[in-house]
Amino acid sequence: MSAETADTTLSHAAYDSKVEGNIIFTRLDAAINWMRKNSLWPMPMGLACCAIELMATGAARFDISRFGAEVMRFSPRQADVMIVSGTVTYKMALAVRRIWEQMPDPKWCIAMGACASSGGMYRSYAVLQGIDKLLPVDVYISGCPPRPEALLEGLMKLQRIIEGEKPIEEQIAGIREAQG
Amino acid sequence: MSRGTENGTSQGAEAGADASRLRKEFGRTKVREMREFRGEHTVVVKLGALKEVLSHCRMALGYDFLLDVSSVDNMGEDPRFEIVYELATLDDRKHLRLKAPVAEGEEVVSVVDLWKTANWHEREVYDMMGLRFTGHPNLKRILMWEGYPYHPLRKEFPLAGKPSEMPDVAFSGIAPLEGGPFVTSPGSDRVSGEPRAKGES
């Protein structure tokens, strides 16, 4: 790189070497989305065998902390994403709903496995036929139970969703427009 | 029960002797029938005499372990229901089954005072089949929620369930069976016994 080009780059770059450390200029919303997607704290709603796979995902071999989601919060008030892993019976459904409502916004939901997504093999009087009848689901993961890789794939999909989320003002404007 | 093993045979022998003892003690009107199938002994008792027979089993014959209380719905027959007690001893020496027919609307006397474990077993029978127990200390549903309007193991109740609504407690809906349930049918012919859609959805 010649001295001349280096000079012009510096004068136009959004980087000031006089300021200590690294500074990146970006939009606030993009920065917030980036922070959110890389520190998703899960609420482990483990209700059946899928929860075993969820635990495996959290353990050393699969290591969910590579995606910033290792902080399993057993208090809904500190959680960002509810991972519904297992069979939701009607008796449990209202408790799941209540915990979901105790989670602060913004929040997301992953339906992990066949039971949480659709009731799975439990075509029964006692089982809720899919958690989406109760809460808004962002990502469905197939499998009975899904492998930890599948859960991580789901988590990465959710990260991609969060990455592309619009600022709140735009979201509200969009809703207003849709309502006419 | 294992058949042919030494343990199974001696278990059967002891329980068989106890069944004869019950018949001798209570007579034909109270102990109606004695059955034996592959070393398992079943005694059919009149519902009114059930408590005293069970009490005798617990106190005099040493059945200190109640394995299970369950119920059968023979819809279309009279009396419709049957209640089943599985008695055993803690050292696994003997195993005896007691049955009593229960007509619709009849109540069964609770045996919680004889075996504490009967508490939850009887609650399950009440929850699933709707049989009530007199003298039970806490007769409420155990699997479904209090206020659920049906007893799901009764024959007239569909497998897919029925819709119900209890605001702020629970709700239920109908499960899509898509042509199912897929079940095997008993019979001699192996081909017709394969799992097939019953088309009850």
State the smallest CA–CA distance between residue A117 and chain B in angstroms: 14
Banded model confidence at residue A137, pLDDT cuts 50, 70, 90? very high
Confirm or reject contact between B158 and chain A (CB < 8 A).
yes
Q: Which CATH number fits domain B6-157: 3.30.420.40, 3.40.30.10, 3.30.460.80, 3.30.56.10?
A: 3.30.460.80
Residues of A within 8 A of B172 (CB-CB) are 90, 125-126
Task: Kindly state the percentage of chain A with pLDDT values over 70.
Answer: 88
Mean of pLDDT over chain A: 85
Query: Which tens digit of pLDDT belongs to each residue from B18-38?
Result: 888 888 888 888 888 889 898
Least confident of A115-119, A153-157, B195-199: B195-199
Helix (H) or strand (E) holding B46: none
Q: Which of A119, A17, A1, A99 is nearest to B176 (CA)?
A: A119
Helices in chain B by DSSP H: which ranges? 6-30, 50-59, 118-129
Are the beta carbons of A91 and B162 separated by less than 8 Å? no
The arithmetic mean of pLDDT across residues B124-135, rounded, is 93
Least confident of A2-16, B4-18, B69-83: A2-16
Residues of B within 8 A of A119 (CB-CB) are 175
Q: Which of A85, A137, A155, A138 is nearest to A114 (CA)?
A: A85
The arithmetic mean of pLDDT across residues A171-179, rounded, is 83
Q: Residue B13: its pLDDT value, please?
A: 81
Helix (H) or strand (E) holding A174: helix A168-179
Q: Residue B10: its pLDDT value, please?
A: 66
Banded model confidence at residue A16, pLDDT cuts 50, 70, 90? low
Least confident of A61-70, B2-11, B187-196: B2-11
Banded model confidence at residue B2, pLDDT cuts 50, 70, 90? very low
The arithmetic mean of pLDDT across residues B95-109, rounded, is 92
CATH class of A42-163: alpha beta
Please say if the pLDDT value at position A164 is more than 90: no
For B19, list phi and psi in degrees, rounded to 5. Answer: -60, -45
Global confidence as pTM = 0.77
ipTM over the 0.90 cut-off: no
CB-CB: which of B168, B171, B181 is closest to A90?
A: B171
Peptide bond just before B79 cis, omega within 30 deg: yes
Are the beta carbons of A125 and B143 separated by less than 8 Å? no
Banded model confidence at residue A10, pLDDT cuts 50, 70, 90? very low
Q: Residue A2: its pLDDT value, please?
A: 47
Confirm or reject contact between B143 and chain A (CB < 8 A).
yes
The arithmetic mean of pLDDT across residues B51-77, rounded, is 92
Banded model confidence at residue A21, pLDDT cuts 50, 70, 90? low
Banded model confidence at residue A86, pLDDT cuts 50, 70, 90? very high
Least confident of B3-7, B56-60, B88-92: B3-7
The arithmetic mean of pLDDT across residues A95-106, rounded, is 91
Please say if the pLDDT value at position B117 is more than 90: yes
CA A170, CA A112: separation in Å to the nearest integer?
A: 30
Confirm or reject contact between B144 and chain A (CB < 8 A).
yes
State the smallest CA–CA distance between residue B43 and chain A in angstroms: 34
Least confident of A2-6, B50-54, B153-157, B186-190: A2-6
The residue of chain A with its CA nearest to that of B161 is A125
Please say if the pLDDT value at position A9 is more than 60: no
A49, A72, A153 from A60: Cα distances, Å: 19, 14, 17
For A148, list phi and psi in degrees, rounded to 5. Answer: -55, -35
For residues B57 and B87, is the Cβ–Cβ distance under 8 A?
Answer: yes
Mean of pLDDT over chain B: 86
Domain ranges (residues) in chain B: 6-157, 159-201
